[in-house]
Amino acid sequence: MTGAEALLRALEREGVEVIFGYPGGAILPVYDALTQSPIRHILVRHEQGAALAADGYARATGKVGVCMATSGPGATNLVTGIANAYMDSVPVVAITGQVPTALIGTDAFQEVDIYGITMPIVKHSFLVRRVAELPAIVHEAFRIARSGRRGPVLIDLPKDVASQVAGTCGEATEASENEALRPPPDELKRAAHLLRESQRPLAYVGGGVRWANAVQEFRAFIQTTQIPVVSTLMGLGALPARDELFLGMLGMHGLKAANFAVQSSDLLVAIGVRFDDRATGKLAEFAPHAKVIHLDADAAEVSKLRKADVPLLGDLRTSLRSLSLPLAVDAWRAECLANKAGYAWNYNAPTDGIYAPRFLKELSEAAGDETIFVCDVGQHQMWVAQHCGFSRPEQHLSSGGLGAMGYGLPAAIGAQFGHPQARVINVAGDGSMLMNVQELATVKRYGLPVKILLLDNQSLGMVRQWQEIFFAGRYSAVDLSDNPDFVRLAESFGIPAFCVEKKEEVPGAIQRLLQEPGPLLVHARIDPRANVWPLVPPGRSNSAMLEGAHR
């Protein structure tokens, strides 16, 4: 057995069914071994697509996503995708070919220090120096990626190690999976006490809940306590959007009822969140009257930005179960729900054109709970978060922490491989679409029924909006009015497409998006002047929400 075969055998043992990758010189031994492996290799058209597809696969399935590239440029092309998984705590294992051991450090052809380059954006990394270590390294890499706070792990594999005969390549010793820590009973008691004392408690929920497999416990906690809920971008779906107690996303583009609830709460139950600046606005003025109970798997997050009055480290499920107490907070709940009703969105914008929030809301209502929405980054991403309703976190894939344009299409591809039967819709912007447009070839090659809703405002809309508001309308490098013809572009990849621009055309477009058996691109022209509201100016308190015209 060669090192490459040992690698694939070890991946099979971890249950890997699909690898997203792109071949090249240093990784050739692995591609050779792939011809004899049951693992399915998906050829993307840019390594960034491989890393983001692995990320999308992981988010949609909860399993570890795997991507692979050659040394040098292949490896550097993975970097954005690895950073994306790191920022949103997504379990991904990235495998890179490396120049032969003896050449490492000599500036050999296609040598880059990917181990060094990725150090700040991986949970851990391995450079395989000896073939005998491979099974144990692979096992350890998977264990690290999917334990505690999830994240990406890099395995850099020199070509000589991959070709070396491994002899009897030992199985990895069964390292026991780390039992999640249990929060100490006295802290749980203190937390329960705070909760009982509180008049205005609020749950602030994030992506940590789904990765801790604590969605059920979270819902039971809300069911019992009946406290209102606000969510981060990553936490959407932890509580079904249709739940009465769900006030919406908080933060920079949060809904008013959500931000006001935070500002007047006296106790934040922060669950799997990290007090990110996009969620908190000006930190010193965030939830100024609230004490904080912080539940998280990562000790480094607790009190990192906001001091926790009670830290509950470790298994979220244990904490949530022990905090599930009936509370008497009827007046506060009524106040929050009245705000929610009072600030309910008006979907009748005064326009003959397509009003994106309404399009997305209607699409999401018609699409049902089995549809997975995958966003790119920009205004359209915020509209999806605000106006699509999710009933599970796995239904909403979005590049949160990194905010990487070009995430949508490759991640949708990954999600579709994870759930071949599900309807996967990539909501894209015209700017983002062109960042990984080459993956249309992957959609075509594998006959994936991925749907793309391209919201084309002929500009880098989110940046344009900031220039309009914060730079007195001095527009700089945001005009995309010379976009390609997206319908013909999709068709040239063999993907059917059509264009809509009037609001009367929206119902028909939604129907096609939902009924088309194969891939489809819907090119929706929207008003280039449309903005995302509300907007909290950067560095300001979340109570300073701006609002403007709806187009």
Partner 1 sequence: MRALLQLEVRNSEGALDRIFGVLRRRGYRIVRLAADRFEEDACFDCVMVLESERPVSALSGQLRKLFDVRSLHVSEQCDAAPAFASEMKRGESLEEGKAPIVAVRNPAEISAASPMS
Ligand X SMILES: Cc1ncc(C[n+]2csc(CCOP(=O)(O)OP(=O)(O)O)c2C)c(N)n1
Interface with partner 1 (CB under 8 A): 115-116, 119-120, 124-127, 129, 144, 298-304
Q: In Å, how far are 359, 381, 409, 510, 512 from 506, measured between CA atoms?
A: 7, 19, 22, 6, 10
CB nearer to partner 1: pick between 300 and 328: 300
Q: Which residues contact 399 (CB under 8 A, 6 or more apart)?
A: 84, 88, 375, 376, 377, 381, 407, 411
Q: Which is nearer to ligand X, 11 or 460 (CB)?
A: 460
Contact between 88 and ligand X by CB under 6 A: the answer reads: no
Residue 160 within binding range of ligand X, rule CB under 6 A: no
What one-letter code names the amino acid at 290? A
Q: Which of 253, 380, 525, 550 binds ligand X (CB under 6 A)?
A: 380
For partner 1, the closer of residues 127 and 535 by Cβ is 127
List the strands of the sheet with 65-69, edge to edge: 40-43, 18-21, 65-69, 92-98, 152-158, 124-127
CA distances from 348 to 115, 177, 254, 399 (A): 52, 52, 20, 29
- Position 185, amino acid: P
Cβ pair 373, 384 in contact under 8 A:
yes
Least distance (Å) from partner 1 to the CB of residue 119? 5
The CB-of-310 to ligand X minimum distance in angstroms stands at 36
Q: Contact between 48 and ligand X (CB under 6 A)?
A: no
By C-beta, is 148 or 353 nearer to partner 1? 148
CB of 81 to ligand X, least distance (A): 11
Indicate which of ligand X, partner 1, none lies near residue 115 (CB less than 5 to 8 Å, by partner kind).
partner 1
- In the complex with partner 1, the residue whose CB is nearer, 117 or 337, is 117
Question: For ligand X, what does the binding mask look like between residues 306 and 345, x meaning CB under 6 A?
Answer: ----------------------------------------
Query: Can you read off the two tokens belonging to residue 72?
Result: 């040098």
User: Does the active-site annotation cover 48?
Assistant: no
- Beta-sheet strands, E only, within 430-534: 451-456, 497-500, 520-525
Closest separation between CB of residue 73 and ligand X, Å? 18
Look at residue 145 and give its three-state secondary structure.
Answer: helix
Tally of residues, the chain: 551
Note whether 466 and 440 are within 8 A (CB): no
38 interface partner picked from ligand X, partner 1, none, CB below 5 to 8 A per type: none
Question: Please, what is the minimum distance in Å from the beta carbon of residue 181 to partner 1?
Answer: 12
Pick from partner 1, ligand X, none: which does 389 bind, CB < 5 to 8 A by kind? none
**How far apart, in Å, are the Cα atoms of 290 and each of 306, 307, 458, 473?**
11, 11, 43, 38
Query: 424: closest CA among 399, 404, 453, 444?
Result: 453
Stretch that binds ligand X, among 37-45, 210-218, 261-269, 378-386 (CB under 6 A): 378-386
Q: Which one, of 355, 140, 386, lies nearest residue 258 by Cα?
A: 386
293's torsion region: left (phi>0), alpha (psi -120 to 50) or beta? beta
Please report whether residue 462 would count as binding ligand X according to CB under 6 A. Answer: yes
Nearest to 295 by CA among 195, 410, 188, 394: 188
CA–CA dist 60, 85 (Å, integer): 13
Please count the CA atoms within 13 angstroms of the CA of 458 that sit on its side-chain side.
9
- One of 5, 14, 20, 47 is an active-site residue; which one? 47
Q: Nearest approach, Cβ of 228 to ligand X (angstroms)?
A: 29
CB of 45 to ligand X, least distance (A): 17
Per-residue x/- marks for ligand X, 515-534, CB under 6 A? --------------------
46 forms part of the interface with ligand X (CB under 6 A): no
Cβ atoms of residues 364 and 391 within 8 Å: no
Q: Give yes or no for residue 429 binding ligand X (CB under 6 A).
A: yes
Please report, for residues 9, 171, 294, the alpha-carbon distance to residue 134 in angstroms, rounded to integers and kept in the order given.
10, 9, 38
Q: Does 410 bind ligand X (CB under 6 A)?
A: no
Which residue pairs, CB below 8 angstroms and at least 24 apart, start in 116-120? 117/75, 117/76, 117/79, 118/79, 118/82, 118/94, 118/154
Annotation says 462 is catalytic? yes
The window from 24-32, 225-233, 275-283, 459-467 that contacts ligand X (CB under 6 A) reads 459-467
**Binding partner selected for residue 431 from partner 1, ligand X, none, CB under the kind-specific 5 to 8 Å limit:** ligand X
Cα(256)–Cα(251) distance, integer angstroms: 9
Site for ligand X (CB under 6 A): which residue of 5, 187, 394, 430?
A: 430
* By the rule CB under 6 A, 236 interacts with ligand X: no
> Binding marks (x or -) toward ligand X, 264..283, rule CB under 6 A?
--------------------
Q: Which of 63, 123, 159, 451 is catalytic?
A: 159
CA distance 461 to 253: 14
Question: Does 405 help bind ligand X (rule: CB under 6 A)?
Answer: yes
> Given candidates 37, 339, 432, 542, which one binds ligand X under the rule CB under 6 A?
432
390 is a catalytic site residue: no
| Contact with ligand X (CB under 6 A) among 78, 202, 388, 404 | 404
Q: Tell me which of 12, 17, 110, 285 is the catalytic residue.
A: 110
Q: Candidates 431, 451, 453, 509: give the one binding ligand X (CB under 6 A).
A: 431
Rounded to 5 degrees, φ, ψ at 546 are -85, 155
Q: In the complex, what is the shortest distance from the CB of residue 47 to ligand X, in angstroms, rounded to a whole number?
A: 15
Q: Nearest-CA neighbor of 91 among 137, 122, 135, 46?
A: 122
Residues that bind ligand X (CB under 6 A): 376-380, 403-405, 429-432, 455, 457, 459-463
* Positions marked active-site: 47, 109-110, 159, 462
